[in-house]
Amino acid sequence: CSEYQKVLKNEEIAPKFKMGEALYNEGKYAKANKLFAQIVPNYRGKPQAEKLMYLYSNTFYKTKDYYVAGYQFERFASSYPKSEKVEEAAFLSAKSYYMLSPVYSKDQKETVEALEKLQAFINLYPESQYSTEANTLVQELDYKLEKKAFEIAKQYNKIAYTSTELEAAIKSFDNFIFDFPGSSLREDALFYRLDSAYKLALNSVEYKKQNRLKTAKEYYQAFIEKYPNSKHIETINNMVLVMDEALKNYSTKS
Amino acid sequence: QDLPYSDGKKYTLGSVSVSGNTTFSEQTIVTYSGLRKGKQMTIPGEDISNAIKKLWSSKLFSDIEIFITKIEGDVAHLEIRLSDLPQLNELKINGIKKGKKEAVINDAGLKKGTKVTENLITNTKNFLTKKYKKEGFYNTKILINTIDVKDSIETARVNMVVNIDKGEKVKVKDIVFNGNAVLSDKKLRKAMKSTKKINRLRILKRSKFVDSAYQEDLSKIIDKYKENGYRDARILSDSLIVNNDNKTVSLHINVNEGEQYTFGDITFIGNTVYSNEFLSRYLRIKKGDTYNGVLLQERIADNTKPDAIDITNLYQNSGYLFSTINPVEVNADDNVIDMEIRISEGKPAYFNKVSVVGNDKTNDHVIYRMLRTRPGQLYSKENVVRSVRELGQLGFFDAQEISPNFNNPNPNEGTIDMEYSVKETGSSQIELQGGYGGGGFIGTLGLSFNNFSIKDIFKKDAYKPIPMGDGQKLALRLQASRFYQTYSFSFSEPWLGGKKPVQFSTSLSHTRQFAYNPLTRNADKSQNFNITGISVGLAKRLTVPDDYFTLSQAVSFQRYDLNNYNISSLFTFGDGYANNFSYTVGLSRNNTRIDPIYPTGGSSFSATAKLSLPYSLFDGVDYKALKEDREQAIIDQDATKLGEIDQERYKWLEFYKINFKADWYTEIVKDLVLKPSVEFGFLGAYNNDRGVIPFERFFVGGDGLGSYSLDGRESIALRGYPNQSLSNQDGGTIYNKFSLELRYPITLKASAKIFALGFIEGGASYNSFRDYNPFSIKRSAGLGVRIFMPAFGLLGIDFGHGFDPLPGETVKNGWETHFIIGQQF
């Protein structure tokens, strides 16, 4: 360790680079990062800078400082567009942003940002060895946004106390279905939209009931056509029986 | 040597030399001037003048000249002569206070090293004259001198002396109006808000003359006329006369009042949702009323208050976000103005998407369930305002920074997206203290997390640094010294099961107290007194009578356990136990807004009843006989017998207790809040023979902080008196308190909220209902300050003056200082 301290305090830059590289190879990224940070300004514009900046960026990535890693890799990619590492750096930059994306139930600013970066990477290097992974990450982030919208809509269904929440659920699921056409949650979304419409219709005042029952039936049709073998099939078949029963009143009256 | 431009000849530039008083190197100056050696140029011509311009623009030199020194064939040699501008060395300012000098130096740009030019001196002079005029010093004189510094350093430098003579403030001696017949001089003078004539009796408003304020006041006079129907009123001329004493001015204002106008027919056009009749009633302006443009504008759209009763809000609150309302004058014959109020209602707007951004810690479901604006719902301004208020009250976000944003308005479809932008704020508090007291070291560790997430406690990556975001409250507290230990834990979840706003809360606590051993001066662990308590409660938000109401219920159990502990004043027995099993039901209403730390409006009240089971009805004990036995035992001084009887009485504590509390908040003027409050409490017994228990009693006086108490006592704050001094040793069974507090904020930033307060209050406790007299109270008044910082909670200090004597004394109590921690008065 004392050797490290000596180099750290030393004025000369060459030993720092050398030792930093050695530490990096040993996997001691935090220490390497400290050394690199001292010499980055000295090497600016010199031929060794390319390698140094790559290693330096990677120490941030390895020490999970993803904010800085994302930025440093981005800078590397724009400063050394001819480097053989540029593709990897561009990918790691985008992946750093991916790492910052929080759980779906919190603000998704970082998720949106990561999606943009990853998409930019895929567009730039469509043949890249990383593109498979990049696509997986994009899917994962896309799913996060879907999940968020889905859970918010579902909560309206869950907390339904008055018609307001059920209407909110229907509206939100409508938006969800429109916004995420290929979502894996689509089946559930259609189901909960039907469920909300069903509850809304049955608890309606008389003069609104018929129309709402009809809407719910439409949602039922939309669901059954798309997912005839759904796991929800039993539940919705029960719903439709109840609704048909309720609708009978109106057909006999009119 | 003046040469006409057109006579310019072409030369090649030979050498360029530099002369004059400069510290810059020759090369620098030549390079900067752009006169490259070997350059082809016309002399005289643009190149020379450009070089001079360039040197000037550097703002480093004065007296710049360029000469031809020699001409050899077509080669010209030039010389640049210039001198450096002097730098400001020392600055001396006379005539103003030391503290104000810094500001003058910054504002006038008089830092050390600044190049001193004539321009700078003139600017400084004008700037200062103007500045003091603005403050009312009309006779300000500014004198600026510069003195060259001569020393070994070659740089030209000067010292500057600025003499400021502010003179006396100019005051307004008299304001004279001409041409006013309808409005009296007095009324017009009153309309002038900041320009007042000298009056020794008026202490809040200055009478100095400030021109900008005066100009504003002139337009206020016109406004005043307009309010009274004189919409043609104007100021013909105004003159300012400096009086002979040079200290005062007189103002002469000539007005032309014009004629008075009245409202004629007011018709509404374009309204389909509301009838003409309804709208005219809403407008509250009738035909024949004095014309008042200001009032009309206010009734249509009052921009000063967001929740004003005006026609714009009428439409906004019923979904017509895209509505616009324009009053138009259609006829002004005979001084009667016919108005047409043109309404374009637009489509009613429905919320399409409702979203929240900025919640880095709090989970979506905690926020969305609070919002009163839901997708698919009709737009209502009222609901937006209320959502913002309720988000603020959660305490997870900075209440001052919650903003509702409207996105993607679509007037054709009638939809709007709503986005609430929030900013998380620290909502956890840590308390760690240690100190000497009560004969030994006392250590306290308290943790309280206000936005906890219990479902994440086993998730490793949720620890940043603690699992947060589900809106749950979790508090832990440990306190220990040689003589006692307390452990407590509490947890609450605002939406039990996530379906309904039913708050679940639970708490556990355990206290151990040891007797003091006078021989070893240590705790005697064989003599101890333990209290274990548990409580579980549910609180539900109601919808009837309105949705600010909450109904809460709780069941709690406490066990008191004594082991050879003969020194308690509460118990007449040393070995034994008591159980306190009770049910609490409470109804409360709270619509205080917006900031929970500094509410500026609304009210809160709560009524609670705490009941035990009526054991004496069914346990078959003859309490009447027991009471007689007890009285006998007291006469006989038979401690053992007394202990046995009390053990029987306290086996299960039997009581009922009623509390009532109400606070109101009113904003008197901007941010100044008046808070009256009332409190009342009563503790009774079902069976008078069994008697009122010595637990659960009221102790009035002091800061009201829950001092360490074993017997479920309630400390009632009453500033201006020592803690718990206004009740007798056993505590009162009935109390009431009234207080009036005036608060003013010093800062309401998220990092620290500080407000000052003044209060008058009065209260007292009574031993029984027979003694109760709500007006026989102890009174006090005082001042204080509160500081709220997210990491520390609320801290404060109050100075209270008690006007009445303590029980058993005859002189008034006088001043008391109270420190407030964590509790809201």
Could you say which DSSP state residue B461 is in? Answer: G
User: Token pair of B652, please?
Assistant: 């299960």
Q: Which residue has the tokens 């118990």?
A: B571
Least CB–CB distance from B364: residue in A152, A165, A171: A152
How near does any CA of chain B get to the CA of A49, in Å?
33
The amino acid present at B379, given as its one-letter code, is Y
Residues of chain B found within 8 Å of residue A106, distances taken between Cβ atoms: 359-364, 469
Mutate which of B352, B361, B363, B364 to test chain A, going by most A C-beta atoms within 10 A?
A: B364
8 A C-beta contact, residue B292 and residue B321 = no
Instruction: Name A26's Cβ contacts closer than 8 Å, sequence gap at least 6.
Output: none
What confidence tier does A59 reach under pLDDT thresholds 50, 70, 90? very high
Q: Assess A218–B contact: CB distance below 8 Å, yes or no.
A: no
For the stretch B2-37, pLDDT in tens is: 555 566 678 888 888 888 877 777 877 887 888 878
Q: Which of B351, B365, B495 sits opposite A105 (nearest CB)?
A: B365
pLDDT tens column, B643-693: 888 888 888 889 999 999 999 999 888 789 999 999 999 999 988 888 888
CB proximity A30 to B under 8 Å: no
Q: Average of pLDDT values for B448-464?
A: 83
User: CB–CB of A106 and B361 under 8 A?
Assistant: yes
d(CA B145, CA B160) in angstroms, rounded, equals: 6
Structure tokens of B521?
């001066």
Long-range contacts made by residues B603-606, C-beta under 8 angstroms, separation at least 24? Answer: B603/B662, B603/B663, B603/B664, B603/B665, B604/B662, B604/B663, B605/B660, B605/B661, B605/B662, B605/B663, B606/B659, B606/B660, B606/B661, B606/B662
Among A14-18, A56-60, B191-195, B564-568, the range scoring the smallest mean pLDDT is: B564-568
Query: For residue range B713-749, what is the model confidence (pLDDT) as tens digits?
Result: 888 889 999 888 888 878 889 999 999 999 999 888 7
Distance CA B351, CA B418 (A): 7
Residues B101-135 have pLDDT tens digits of 888 888 877 777 778 888 888 888 888 888 887 77
Reported in sequence order, the residue ranges of A85-194 that DSSP labels E, i.e. its strands, are none
Task: Determine the pLDDT at residue B180.
Answer: 86
- Mean pLDDT on A139-168: 92
Q: Are B660 and B606 in contact (CB under 8 A)?
A: yes
Q: Token pair for residue A109? A: 């600013």
CA dihedral B420, B424, B428, B429 (to 10 degrees): -110
**What is the nearest CA distance from B374 to chain A, expressed in angstroms?**
5
Residues of chain B contacting residue A164, judged by C-beta atoms under 8 Å apart: 374, 377
The CA-to-CA distance between both ends of chain A, in Å, stands at 92
Classified as helix, coil or strand, B116 is coil
- B74: burial class by Cβ within 10 Å (0-12, 13-18, 19+)? exposed
Three-class SS of residue B154? coil
Cβ contacts of B453 on chain A, cutoff 8 Å: none
User: B422 to chain A, minimum CA–CA distance in Å?
Assistant: 10
| Mean pLDDT estimate for chain B | 85
Whole-angstrom Cα Rg for chain B: 40
Query: Over the stretch B740-798, which tens digit does the pLDDT of each residue have?
Result: 999 999 888 777 889 999 999 999 999 888 888 888 899 999 999 999 887 677 888 99
Give the single-character DSSP code of B310. Answer: S
For B425-434, write each residue's pLDDT tens digit: 876 777 777 7
Cβ-based contacts of A172 with chain B (< 8 Å): 353, 375-376
Q: What angle do CA B66, B70, B73 make, to 5 degrees?
A: 125
| Angle (deg, nearest 10), helices A86-100 and A66-79 | 150
Measured from the Cβ of residue B695, the count of other Cβ atoms closer than 10 Å reads 21
Which pLDDT does position B355 carry in this prediction? Answer: 93
Q: What is the DSSP letter of B665?
A: E
The reported pLDDT for the residue numbered B825 is: 42
pLDDT for A123 equals 93
Burial A52-90 (b: 16+ CB within 10 A, else e): bbbbbbbbbbbeebbebbbbbbbebbeebeebebbbbbb
Task: Supply the DSSP symbol for A204.
Answer: S
Cβ distance B374 to A164 less than 8 Å, yes or no, reads yes
Contact present, B289 and B263 (Cβ < 8 Å): yes
b (16+ CB within 10 A) / e for B632-649: ebeeeeeeebbbbbbbbb
Give per-residue pLDDT as tens, B61-101.
878 888 888 888 888 888 888 888 888 888 888 888 877 88
- B698-700 and B714-716 strand pairing: parallel
Banded pLDDT at B806 (limits 50, 70, 90) = confident
pLDDT at residue B708 above 60?
Answer: no
Question: Over 60: is that where the pLDDT of B823 sits?
Answer: no
Q: How high is the pLDDT of residue A130?
A: 92
pLDDT tens digit string along B240-283?
A: 887 877 778 888 999 998 888 888 888 999 888 899 999 988 88
> Reduced to 3 states, what is the DSSP secondary structure of residue B91?
strand
Joined together, the tokens standing for residue B218 give 């002139």
Residue found under tokens 């041409």? B179
Label residue A230 exposed, middle or buried (CB < 10 Å: 0-12, 13-18, 19+).
middle
Question: Residues for chain A: how many in total?
Answer: 254
* Interchain pair B360, A107: CB under 8 A: yes
Q: Tell whether A84 lies on the interface with B, counting CB pairs under 8 A.
A: no
The CA distance from A76 to the nearest CA of chain B, in Å, is 29
Q: Could B469 and A105 be called an inter-chain contact, meaning their C-beta atoms sit closer than 8 Å? A: yes
Q: Report pLDDT for A254.
A: 47
What are the tens digits of pLDDT across the range B540-599? 988 888 888 999 999 999 998 888 887 766 777 778 888 999 999 999 998 887 777 888
CA distances from residue B481 to B489, B511, B524, B531, B808 in whole angstroms, order as listed: 18, 12, 13, 16, 34
Residues of B with CB under 8 A from a CB of A: 351-354, 356-365, 368-369, 374-377, 469, 495, 498-500
- Residue pairs spanning A and B at CB distance below 8 A: 65
Rounded to whole angstroms, how far apart are CA atoms B229 and B232? Answer: 9
Q: What are B608-634's pLDDT values in tens digits?
A: 999 999 888 888 888 888 888 888 888
B231 or B707, which is more confident: B231
Q: How far is CA B320 from CA A34, B301, B411, B415, B418, in A?
A: 60, 14, 10, 11, 15
Q: For B359, which of A106, A158, A161 is closest by C-beta distance? A: A106
- Cβ of A164 and B361 within 8 Å? no
The Cα–Cα gap between B396 and B315 comes to 33
